[in-house]
């Protein structure tokens, strides 16, 4: 039965309770995973799978209830990324000695709520009018639809999920092969580098987004790691280790390449994201205005009693959105005032937060549609916010201001939470549109999940800080959590106030972004099918190169599938069935790896004492990396063969 124009069973008490529990669990698990590994996994698909499994115990459950549970749970997970990428930086710069529950909860909770509220007027623009893929949203819808009504297709998801989960266990939990295969060598005074992440999930993301975006991400990464870093290395003296057991010895080529990327060439991507974000907003201006005015028009129709909006197009009323935005800004202003103690500067900080929050929430939503939430450069847009905020605060407070770097990081924290939630909201709303869920009910569940995650994230951070400490803090031991993004935020904020930011690389990124935009404009005018969206290239510059490689390979698999059908002159039904099998397979691989990535975090957290580690087999099996490469090659062929095979 099609309930799109009726009133199906959606927002129930059991949905609220189950959604809150899953939001808390996924938020806590992903917080540790991000602090430990420097990255988080999107929980949209795992949350949907969990919802399906739990709701099978209720005979009257609906696909809409499962969708709303997943929406709530994934919001809590996304908020964790926004918090862990930024707030530990306050400890790294010495502003805090430990996390404060109230301040963390307020910054995370209201920052996340702003992310939800900013995206509501953008729903029509990004999901309906823009031609965006939203890979995880589409994959989640496939998971829900298959799990509810099409038992013949769920086998693809289950088999692929098992394979993705086992792959994650072998690489991450047991350590039979490494998750990353990379190496570098010194060539004269320069560096030759190559690396790849052995991840079926990244392979699947590349398959879903297609060759065009996959190529651009790869080109950006290759231009940085295979061209820019070798040139920069050749132009200077080879460094030595400053401390440790290797003090005074020449730095390894791999460590030197990573150092150049993290301290210099990565900022080319930051410059590109600055321009790309502004360009994205400029190009979306008409759609954004149209989306916002349509929301206002719908509100007016409701007010006048002439509402003709279908159930599946109803957002939260505009007056509620405005009221909640104001209600979120006021406590955040109080946070700024508490730390800065100057009303006019606190007011300016709030305005900067609103402007950059809306800007980068839109960018995050757009990029989630472009490359998926798992590869959304949230830390990149946050660096841009911290950079702009730091420059403004230097003008207002002066370089000598002791609280200046902390103030910039707090603004960045709010914007990071908003951007992280925004990308998740758009994926969830895309999924909801495909399965027929009411948008305003999803938006309510996003807010419920955000608040639930904000209330639990602070105790998790306090626990992990006391148990392990963070790399870069005074007294941090060898088992300290790495917190790479927080270290980057701290470096940018201090760099601006201390005058040590690599501006040459930022401006290089701005110039390259202008060239990419010019090329994309030319391709659009000539109506070429291949396009060059600047943010995709900037992502490649900003991300570690090893992430770009499996995405590119996934894009090649998508190309191979298309050529297979062209060569065999497949008809439309055959191509549609093939596309569906491929999406289900890719969805399963993402689901399995993401679920296992979260499950693996649980025993790590339970074994949190400094001297207790999970047993691993590194070195027990020789040639571990080739084993991983062979298995990933098998998964790649399996994805291709399952997609193209005749039923």
**What pTM was computed for the model?**
0.77
Q: Could you give the angle at the alpha carbon of 420 between the alpha carbons of 503 and 373, nearest 5°? A: 100
- If you average pLDDT over residues 257-261, what whole number do you get? 90
- Three-state secondary structure call for residue 191: strand
Neighbouring residues of 568: CB distance < 8 A, sequence distance ≥ 6: none
Give the residue, 641 or 533, on which the prediction is more confident.
Answer: 641
- If you average pLDDT over residues 134-156, what whole number do you get? 75
Residue 309 in contact with residue 301, Cβ under 8 Å? yes
Q: Which of 535, 542, 498 is nearest to 520 (CA)?
A: 535
- If you average pLDDT over residues 229-247, what whole number do you get? 87
Q: Which of 104, 105, 109 is nearest to 89 (CA)?
A: 104
- Three-state secondary structure call for residue 529: coil
Predicted local confidence at residue 303, as pLDDT: 64
Rg (CA), the chain: 24
Q: What are phi and psi of 532, to 5 degrees?
A: -130, 70
User: Is the model's pLDDT at 226 over the cut of 90?
Assistant: yes
Structure tokens at 51: 């919802």
Predicted local confidence at residue 479, as pLDDT: 54
Distances (CA, A) of 345 to 110, 397, 407: 20, 8, 10
Region of residue 281 (phi > 0: left; psi between -120 and 50: alpha; otherwise: beta): alpha
Residue 366 in contact with residue 126, Cβ under 8 Å? yes
User: Is the model's pLDDT at 283 over the cut of 80?
Assistant: no
Sign of CA dihedral 412, 418, 421, 422: negative
Predicted local confidence at residue 231, as pLDDT: 95
For 473, the enclosing helix (H) or strand (E) is none
For 204, the enclosing helix (H) or strand (E) is helix 200-209
Q: From CA 20, how far away is CA 186, in angstroms rounded?
A: 52
Sign of CA dihedral 577, 581, 587, 588: positive
User: Is the model's pLDDT at 605 over the cut of 90?
Assistant: no
Q: From CA 32, how far away is CA 24, in angstroms rounded?
A: 13
Q: From CA 486, how far away is CA 221, in angstroms rounded?
A: 22
User: Is the model's pLDDT at 174 over the cut of 70?
Assistant: yes
Task: Band the pLDDT of 150: cuts 50, 70, 90.
Answer: low
Q: Which of 5-19, 470-484, 548-562 has the least mean pLDDT?
A: 470-484
Q: From CA 447, how far away is CA 104, in angstroms rounded?
A: 17
User: Is the model's pLDDT at 1 over the cut of 60?
Assistant: no
User: Is the model's pLDDT at 260 over the cut of 90?
Assistant: yes
Task: Band the pLDDT of 610: cuts 50, 70, 90.
Answer: very low
Residue 142 in contact with residue 52, Cβ under 8 Å? no
Give the residue, 442 or 173, on which the prediction is more confident.
Answer: 442
Residue 420 in contact with residue 450, Cβ under 8 Å? no
Predicted local confidence at residue 171, as pLDDT: 82
Beta-carbon neighbour count of residue 521 at 10 Å? 13
Structure tokens at 258: 């990573």
Q: From CA 113, how far away is CA 103, in angstroms rounded?
A: 15
Please state the length of the chain: 647
Task: Band the pLDDT of 307: cuts 50, 70, 90.
Answer: low
**What DSSP state is assigned to residue 265?**
I
Percent of the residues in the chain that have a pLDDT greater than 70, as a whole number:
85
Question: b/e for 102-118, b at 16 or more Cβ within 10 A?
Answer: ebbbbbbbbbbbbbbbb
Predicted local confidence at residue 309, as pLDDT: 66
Q: Which residues pair with 197 in a beta bridge?
A: 180
User: Is the model's pLDDT at 505 over the cut of 90?
Assistant: yes
Predicted local confidence at residue 135, as pLDDT: 81
Q: Which of 176, 520, 159, 178 is nearest to 370 (CA)?
A: 520
Task: Band the pLDDT of 40: cuts 50, 70, 90.
Answer: low
Please, what is the average pLDDT of the chain? Answer: 83
- Neighbouring C-alpha atoms within 13 Å toward the C-beta of 303: 9
Whose tokens are 């990353």? That residue is 180
Task: Band the pLDDT of 228: cuts 50, 70, 90.
Answer: very high
Percent of the residues in the chain that have a pLDDT greater than 90, as a whole number:
28
Predicted local confidence at residue 2, as pLDDT: 46
Residue 73 in contact with residue 47, Cβ under 8 Å? yes
- Three-state secondary structure call for residue 193: strand
């Amino acid at each position: 039965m099609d309930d799109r124009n009726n009133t199906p069973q959606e927002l129930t008490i059991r949905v609220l309770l189950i959604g809150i529990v899953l939001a808390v669990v996924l938020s806590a698990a992903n917080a540790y995973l991000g602090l430990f590994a420097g990255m988080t996994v999107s929980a949209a698909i795992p949350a949907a799978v969990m919802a399906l499994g739990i709701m099978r115990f209720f005979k009257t459950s609906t696909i809409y209830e499962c969708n709303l549970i997943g929406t709530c749970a994934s919001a809590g997970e996304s908020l964790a990324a926004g918090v862990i990428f930024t707030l530990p930086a306050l400890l790294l710069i010495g502003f805090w000695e430990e996390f404060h529950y109230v301040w963390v909860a307020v910054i995370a909770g209201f920052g996340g709520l702003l992310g939800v509220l900013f995206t509501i007027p953008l729903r029509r623009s990004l999901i309906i009018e823009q031609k965006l893929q939203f890979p995880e949203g589409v994959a989640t819808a496939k998971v829900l639809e298959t799990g509810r009504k099409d038992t013949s297709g769920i086998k693809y998801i289950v088999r692929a999920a098992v394979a993705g989960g086992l792959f994650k266990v072998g690489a991450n939990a047991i350590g039979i092969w490494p998750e990353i295969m990379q190496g570098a060598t010194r060539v004269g005074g320069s560096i030759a580098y190559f690396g790849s992440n052995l991840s079926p999930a990244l392979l699947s993301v590349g398959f879903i987004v297609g060759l065009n975006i996959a190529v651009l991400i790869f080109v950006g990464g290759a231009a940085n790691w295979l061209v820019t870093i070798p040139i920069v290395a050749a132009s200077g003296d080879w460094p030595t280790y400053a401390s440790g057991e290797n003090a005074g010895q020449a730095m390894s080529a791999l460590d030197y390449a990573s150092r150049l990327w993290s301290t210099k060439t990565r900022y080319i991507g930051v410059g590109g994201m600055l321009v790309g974000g502004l360009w994205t907003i400029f190009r979306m201006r008409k759609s954004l205005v149209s989306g916002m005015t349509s929301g206002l028009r719908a509100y007016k129709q409701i007010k006048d009693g002439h509402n003709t909006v279908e159930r599946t197009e109803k957002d939260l009323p505009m007056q509620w959105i405005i009221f909640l935005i104001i209600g979120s800004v006021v406590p955040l202003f109080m946070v700024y005032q508490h730390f800065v103690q100057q009303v006019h500067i606190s007011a300016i900080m709030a305005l900067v937060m609103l402007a950059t929050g809306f800007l980068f929430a839109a960018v995050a939503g757009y990029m989630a549609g472009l490359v998926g939430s798992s590869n959304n450069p949230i830390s990149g847009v946050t660096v841009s916010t911290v950079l702009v905020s730091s420059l403004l605060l230097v003008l207002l407070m002066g370089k000598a201001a002791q609280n200046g770097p902390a103030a910039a990081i707090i603004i960045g924290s709010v914007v990071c939470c908003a951007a992280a939630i925004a990308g998740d909201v758009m994926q969830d709303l895309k999924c909801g549109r495909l399965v027929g869920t009411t948008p305003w009910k999803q938006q309510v569940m996003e807010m419920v999940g955000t608040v639930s995650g904000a209330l639990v994230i602070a105790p998790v951070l306090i626990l992990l800080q006391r148990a392990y400490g963070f790399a870069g803090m005074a007294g941090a031991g060898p088992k300290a959590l790495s917190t790479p993004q927080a270290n980057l935020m701290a470096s940018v904020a201090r760099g601006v106030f201390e005058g040590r930011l690599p501006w040459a690389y930022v401006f290089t990124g701005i110039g390259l972004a202008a060239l990419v935009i010019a090329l994309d404009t030319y391709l659009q005018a000539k109506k070429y099918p291949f396009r060059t969206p600047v943010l995709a290239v900037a992502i490649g510059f900003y991300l570690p190169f090893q992430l770009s490689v499996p995405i590119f390979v996934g894009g090649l698999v998508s190309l191979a599938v298309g050529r297979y059908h062209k060569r065999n002159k497949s008809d439309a039904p055959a191509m549609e069935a093939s596309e569906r099998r491929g999406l289900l397979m890719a969805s399963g691989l993402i689901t399995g790896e993401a679920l296992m990535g979260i499950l693996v975090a649980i025993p790590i957290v339970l074994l949190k004492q400094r001297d207790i580690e999970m047993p691993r087999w590194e070195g027990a099996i020789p040639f571990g990396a080739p084993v991983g490469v062979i298995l990933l090659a098998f998964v790649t062929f399996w994805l291709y063969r399952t997609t193209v095979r005749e039923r």
